[in-house]
Structure 1
Amino acid sequence: MTTELDTVLPLYEGKMGNIYDHRSASFVGIGDTDIAPNHNHSSSAVVLPRYWISPGLTEQRHERRSWGTQSAMLGFRRVARNTDERTCIAAVLPWGASSYGWILSAGPSAESLAFLCAQYNSFCFDYTLRQFLTQPSVPQGTFEQLPTVTRQAAEDLDLGIGGTFAWVVAQCVRLSATDEKLATWAAECGCADAPYEWDLSRRITIRAELDAAFFHLYGIERDDVDYIMDTFPIVKRKDEADFGEYRTKRLILEAFDRMASC
């Protein structure tokens, strides 16, 4: 006989996730710093949480909100500083339990969660958030006042990549749905072939293209894209140490130029 203890849910804490990745780290103990990076992103790999939550309690908490889908959740990490490598760090989480470390965006459909996730993780959105952050965490009230691009605006803009909204959704799903737990969400977004392989070189290209697309969607000129990218000094410093150039900026500008020609 199966009991509730046999079906407890992992509690996803903010420090377990990273950009487009809910499996960035596992707990190896019960302390706040007892956490280690996860290097296994195969479709069946899981990360270990610090806490497990009963399905009943999780359902009670979910009932406090209205959800546009029950296949996944979108969260961005609460703890952040405008002096970090990145400030807005968002990921699509498997439907279940999440901690205070994630601020959830409840209400949108599965497709809209993907579109918002890509937007939250863009350098353009990150730069905007940094202008209003004065503490080492993201106030929900501040976040709710940030400008965002609508679905209609994306559908109206031709960047030479087909329907821009559908393209953004598909690219976000490809980055996020790398494990079996997000396959149902991916299918709701029209991507029935998930989970996808964790291909680092391909992920770098996709992320650069998404960043370029959102610079266009926000109406940012090329010179301003160049400036904004230079306001992320840690990203620049790491790129120069690893590749001898600011590779992230170059890839984004190249993608931006390709889209501009359309």
Structure 2
Amino acid sequence: MFEAKMLHHYDHRFSTYEDATEKQLAVGTLPRLTVDQHQDASAMPLPGYWVPEQDVPTGEVDKNGQPIMESGVRSRLAAKGWDRQWVFGWRDICRASDERTMIAAAAPAHGFGHKFLLALSSQAALMGAAWSSFGMDYATRQSVGGTSMSYFIVRQLPMPSPEQLTPHSGMVLPRLLQLTYPTHDMRPFALDLGDSGAPFRWDPDRRAVIRAELDALFFHLYGITRDDTAYILDTFNVTRDNDTKAHGEYRTKRLILAEYDRMAAADLTLETPLTEDESGTYRSTLTPPPGQGSRHSA
């Protein structure tokens, strides 16, 4: 069973119960998977709890003598009309003082604790990219008054409509695919996006650029000016401090603003999507481009 603290943006292997100390468990934190562990496409976090995937008998029978079953994960999702082998959701617990407020992620369709809420939507993939952006995160911080981001708050957040996002899917989906598909257990997600290849290798530097491209894209789609984009990024103090400690600079801000400028030069707006073909208006600085990165063996 996944607990909310085990997931983060584009990462369903954020933390694990493996080697957790009593001190960590006492304060509700878990060890994070290392870069080496993330580079193993078969590595998975160790859960603290297990729930049945299939229905299990309760030991009781109904009036007709038939066994009464307790619904497993598959039956519960099917009852909601969800037949995919992956899900998308977000952390309920949030604080404006944390590194990020809206922490959303896609993950295999296993069990989830009640503090990770699910969005069972046909637009879940595109929603994942929007909800993981700094633009959405900043708007979320203005909407959350406590430490819980329940359904009624999320329903009021500024989310572009499917009709508005679909023209930009050519930019979003290859990047979303590479970020979300570093493991074999996310193959169903990749297949739903039309990709049948092996999982992508976990490359932290490449992932940072891809995420910056998506963040810059959504700042444009939300109609946020460059000056306001720079201001918004400066309000994420924990992100800035972590970057400075790891890289000696606020790398996230630098990467996003560089891509923001390149997209502005290509005249990106909500109504005018970017194109990345040979005659396109925008091309990633990454070689190979997002969605065509190095993969694990089949």
Determine the C-alpha separation between the residues in 1 that align with 2:177 and 2:75: 28
Where has structure 1 moved over 3 Å in runs of 4 or more?
A: 28-34
Residue 116 (structure 1) shift: 0.8
Q: Which residue of 1 aligns with 2:173?
A: 169
- Superposed CA deviations along residues 92-129 of structure 1, whole A, max 9, x for unmatched, are 11012111121110131xxx322111111100000000
| 2:256 equivalent to 1:258 | no
Q: Which residue of 2 aligns with 1:96?
A: 110
Answer with 1 or 2: which has the greater Rg.
2
Determine the C-alpha separation between the residues in 2 that align with 1:145 and 1:195: 35
Task: Structure 2: give runs of 5+ residues left out of the alignment.
Answer: 56-71, 267-298
| 2:225 equivalent to 1:221 | yes
Q: Which residue of 1 aligns with 2:144?
A: 133
Q: Which amino acid aligns with 1:104?
A: L
Determine the C-alpha separation between the residues in 1 that align with 2:164 and 2:77: 31
Q: Which residue of 1 aligns with 2:51?
A: 53
| 2:35 equivalent to 1:37 | no
Determine the C-alpha separation between the residues in 1 that align with 2:118 and 2:171: 23
Q: Which amino acid aligns with 2:135?
A: C
Determine the C-alpha separation between the residues in 2 that align with 1:201 and 1:210: 15
Determine the C-alpha separation between the residues in 2 that align with 1:196 and 1:179: 7
**SS state at 2:31 partner:** strand
1:230 to 214, 231, 234: 234
Residue 226 (structure 1) shift: 1.0
Q: Which amino acid aligns with 1:131?
A: Q
1:76 to 85, 90, 99: 90
**SS state at 2:16 partner:** strand
Q: Which amino acid aligns with 1:117?
A: G
| 2:219 equivalent to 1:208 | no
Q: Which residue of 1 aligns with 2:68?
A: none
Q: Percent identity?
A: 36
1:22 to 2, 12, 18: 12
Q: Which residue of 1 aligns with 2:285?
A: none
Q: Which amino acid aligns with 2:75?
A: Q
Tell me if the contact between 1:66 and 1:107 (Cα under 8 Å) persists in the aligned partners.
no
Task: Structure 1: give runs of 5+ residues left out of the alignment.
Answer: 1-10, 157-163
Q: Which amino acid aligns with 1:37?
A: R
- Superposed CA deviations along residues 169-189 of structure 1, whole A, max 9, x for unmatched, are 221121111110111210110
Tell me if the contact between 1:212 and 1:256 (Cα under 8 Å) persists in the aligned partners.
yes
| 2:150 equivalent to 1:150 | no
**SS state at 2:106 partner:** strand
Tell me if the contact between 1:186 and 1:194 (Cα under 8 Å) persists in the aligned partners.
no
TM-score normalised per structure 2: 0.77
Q: Which amino acid aligns with 1:124?
A: G
Q: Decide which structure has greater helix share.
A: 1
Aligned pairs, how many? Answer: 241
Q: Which residue of 2 aligns with 1:195?
A: 199
Determine the C-alpha separation between the residues in 2 that align with 1:72 and 1:240: 35
Determine the C-alpha separation between the residues in 2 that align with 1:194 and 1:130: 37
Residue 34 (structure 1) shift: 6.8
Q: Which piece of structure 1 moves more, 98-107 or 23-32? A: 23-32
Residue 154 (structure 1) shift: 3.1
**SS state at 1:74 partner:** strand
1:98–1:188 Cα change, 3 Å? same
Residue 155 (structure 1) shift: 4.1
Q: Which residue of 1 aligns with 2:63?
A: none
Determine the C-alpha separation between the residues in 2 that align with 1:88 and 1:34: 18
Tell me if the contact between 1:114 and 1:173 (Cα under 8 Å) persists in the aligned partners.
no
Q: Which residue of 2 aligns with 1:160?
A: none
